[in-house]
Structure 1
Amino acid sequence: MKIDRIELFHVKIPLNFIFKSSQTTLNHRETIIIKAVDELGNSGYGEVVAFNEPFYTNETLRDSKNVLINKYIQKLINKDIKHPFDIHKWVDLSYPMALAGLENALVDLYSKSKKKPIMDIVFNEETNNEIYGGITLGDIDIPSLIKQIDNYQNQGYTRFKIKIKPKDGFIKLGAIREKYPDIQLLADANKSYKIEQIEMIKKLDSLNLLCIEEPLDSGNFLEYQKLQEAMNTPICLDESIETIDDLKTAIELKSLKVVNLKAGRIGGMYYAKQMIELCRKNNIKYWIGSMLESGISKILHVHLASLKDTYIPGDLSSSKRYFKKDLIKPEVTSENGIIKVPKGCGLGVEVDENTLKNYTIDYIQIGGEKH
């Protein structure tokens, strides 16, 4: 396929609620939607899931946008691409979120041209037709947490991830576990503890958690090794794993037992597949996260979560939970806590162009005739 043009839609989508973690507070989500168009007029979509501030990783949305416009996209225009993963021969991993968005648009476009679902192109193995959703709840007070868990349990969700910080993390999780002794529960500390607080972290062992995600502020694999040796609760790494070499090192040091994979964070499906294969070889459990993203990126993660050996339900729930109107048709929906995996070509959904334009605060086209 030959890329005629790339269109960038910088969007700002209001959230239905204020999302709080130990690192940030958000009431809207800005991302960049990438539309890749070939010489026949066919299109594919991807999403850049970087945030405006570098609280999660160092790459910001401004960084992503600059490198896409000034470097990455220039390498693609009018280039004949035999396979979307060829992009990784030309583009390094300096800006993985920008790279992932571009790669995902190419994978969607290529899958459509082959008239195949995206997972047939990337993995070519049997997948599930539906997945269990999972709920992530922000750093809010205990009564609000209890109320929301009740609400989402009534909707069929059984797995809950709670954002915590050292000040009151154990108290919140303890209150939840006391009221709900049987729910699937895990914690995400977003790098808010220091290794010197190891005894405080070890207290979480009493709460029967599926794992604790990113507890340490340093991201030092030797410190994680020390912590995992001292704990029964599995350590799950997310943003500390930026590359395949990071994952290899963490596995060799026994710094983790679980990894949270997000294609939008690690450079795309090409690297997600490599990491999943490495996990399989080394008996490391993996599961699929989410980036507080629009349906364009979220539906990609729904596809990834359909692999049969994922550890737990991902951070995936209905579009309506986050946005009044999402960017895809049909939107991501959950019935009794279950999300159906789209069966169409590519991502298996359509992008709602009108909604996309309504949310767009900046538009750039590179290549092709101007529209």
Structure 2
Amino acid sequence: MDIQKVTLHIINMELVTPFGTSYGTYYDRQSILVEAEDENGCIGWGEVVAFSQPWYTEETVQTALHILEDFLIPIVLQHKIEHPSEVALLFSVIKRNNMAKAGIEGALWDLYAQRSKQSLATALGGTKQEIEVGVVVGLDTLSNMLKKMEQYAEEGYQRFKVKIKPENDYELLKGIRQAFPHLPLMADANSAYTLENLEQLKRLDDFGLMMIEQPLADNDFLEHAMLQKEMVTPICLDESIHSLEDARVAVSLGSCKIINIKPGRVGGLTEAIRIHDHCKRHHLPVWCGGMLETGISRVQNVALASLPNFTIPGDISASSRHWEQDIIMPPVILEKGKVIVPQNIGLGHIVDRERLREVTVRTLEFSKENR
């Protein structure tokens, strides 16, 4: 692949329903869509899933723009790339900034799949024809959350994740369990606790949760290991896992029993596959997390989740869960709690250019001619 032009589309889309976490409530979503064009005029799409504020990782939309414009895009424009897996090595001279890296790498995976005339799932090594999916329920009043969960259960979602924080955990989960005693349920803490909350966290074993996701800080591998020894509920690490090396540390220390893989968080699909393979060798199940993405990242996540060790339903909800109108055609839809893995070449969906124009707030173009 000889990339001739990269276009960045900075977009802003309003969420169908405000999304509450321990960090705050979000009403819209700003993202960067990456459009890469090769020497044959073929176009691949990726997405930078950083948020506008550095609450999830240190990256933001603005920092990603800087890294893309001044470092990553120039690297891509000056190298011929045979396979997307080469990009991680090319980008290794740049520390972290994984979401910016993943945005470009995703576009190159799409291009590679198109050029080799295969679906993205096949190119990644996927084996499933369909995947079970879960849904995230943001923090709200208990009654509102129960209404949403009832609706999502009727729609067929296979796993339910609720956000918790120290001021709102036991009674919230108790209320949910009373209403839905057998629902596949997990709790996501987004690093809101410390080991000072040990006894409080141990009480959550009462609810038969599938897992508790990222209860402690993202650098607390040792303390997560200590906590896992005290809890029956499996710990799942999310924000802690930025690379294969992080996964190796977590597995070696016993910091968790499950790992959430998000391509944006770990630097792209190549590293996501490496983490998947390592966890598979160590019999540790994984699942694919979500980042309130547009359909571009959503269908890439579907392709990734078709790999064999993704045995837990991921946060890959239907497009309508977050958007009145997604950026892709057709939108991602749910069929009896499952999403069909696209079999057409590349992403298996096309970008809706008219919708893209409606939500774009800024466009930047970079080409070999203008270097």
If the TM-score is normalised by the length of the shorter chain, which range does it land in?
Answer: over 0.9
Q: Which position in structure 2 is the counterpart of 1:164? A: 164
1:155 aligns with 2:148: no
Q: Which position in structure 1 is the counterpart of 2:312? A: 312
Judge conservation of contact 1:49–1:291 (CA < 8 Å) in 2: yes
Cα deviation for residue 78 of structure 1 reads 5.0
Number of residues of Structure 1 aligned to a counterpart in Structure 2: 368
Cα deviation for residue 369 of structure 1 reads 6.3
Q: Which position in structure 2 is the counterpart of 1:75? A: 75
Partner secondary structure for residue 251 of structure 2 = helix
Give per-residue Cα distances to partners, 1:72-122, cap 9 Å, x unaligned. 100111532111221122112521000000000001011101111112222
Identity %: 38
Match among 105, 119, 122 for residue 120 of structure 1:
122
Work out the CA distance in 2 between the residues paired with 1:246 and 1:81: 27
Work out the CA distance in 2 between the residues paired with 1:293 and 1:59: 16
The one-letter amino acid paired with 2:211 is C
Judge conservation of contact 1:96–1:266 (CA < 8 Å) in 2: yes
Matches within 5 A, 1:171-250: 171-217=171-217, 219-250=219-250
Partner secondary structure for residue 77 of structure 2 = coil
Cα deviation for residue 336 of structure 1 reads 2.2
Give per-residue Cα distances to partners, 1:153-206, cap 9 Å, x unaligned. 111123100001111211111111122111100000111111111000001111
The one-letter amino acid paired with 1:173 is L
Judge conservation of contact 2:166–2:192 (CA < 8 Å) in 1: yes
Match among 105, 110, 121 for residue 103 of structure 1:
105
Work out the CA distance in 2 between the residues paired with 1:365 and 1:301: 26
Q: Which position in structure 1 is the counterpart of 2:355? A: 355
Judge conservation of contact 1:194–1:218 (CA < 8 Å) in 2: no
The one-letter amino acid paired with 1:174 is K
Partner secondary structure for residue 94 of structure 1 = coil
Q: Which position in structure 1 is the counterpart of 2:259? A: 259
In structure 2, stretches of 5+ residues that fail to align are none
Partner secondary structure for residue 34 of structure 1 = strand
Partner secondary structure for residue 219 of structure 2 = coil
Give per-residue Cα distances to partners, 1:279-325, cap 9 Å, x unaligned. 01111111111111100001111111222332311011111111111
Cα deviation for residue 217 of structure 1 reads 3.3
Matches within 5 A, 1:76-95: 76-92=76-92, 93-95=95-97
Partner secondary structure for residue 265 of structure 1 = helix
Work out the CA distance in 1 between the residues paired with 2:150 and 2:80: 53
Tell which deviates more after alignment, 31-40 or 80-89. 80-89
Work out the CA distance in 2 between the residues paired with 1:330 and 1:43: 18
Give per-residue Cα distances to partners, 1:193-250, cap 9 Å, x unaligned. 1111100000111100000001113631111011000001000000111121111111
1:346 aligns with 2:342: no
* TM-score of the aligned structures, taking structure 1 as reference length: 0.97
Q: CA separation of 1:218/1:9 partners in 2, compared to 1, >3 Å: closer, same or farther?
A: closer
Q: Which position in structure 1 is the counterpart of 2:288? A: 288
* TM-score of the aligned structures, taking structure 2 as reference length: 0.97
Work out the CA distance in 2 between the residues paired with 1:285 and 1:110: 28
Work out the CA distance in 1 between the residues paired with 2:120 and 2:67: 26
Work out the CA distance in 2 between the residues paired with 1:366 and 1:284: 42
1:2 aligns with 2:2: yes
Work out the CA distance in 2 between the residues paired with 1:311 and 1:121: 20
Give per-residue Cα distances to partners, 1:265-289, cap 9 Å, x unaligned. 1101110011011101111111111
CA RMSD in angstroms comes to 1.3
Work out the CA distance in 1 between the residues paired with 2:369 and 2:360: 20
In structure 1, stretches of 5+ residues that fail to align are none
Cα deviation for residue 335 of structure 1 reads 2.1
Partner secondary structure for residue 84 of structure 1 = coil
Partner secondary structure for residue 308 of structure 1 = coil
The one-letter amino acid paired with 1:114 is S
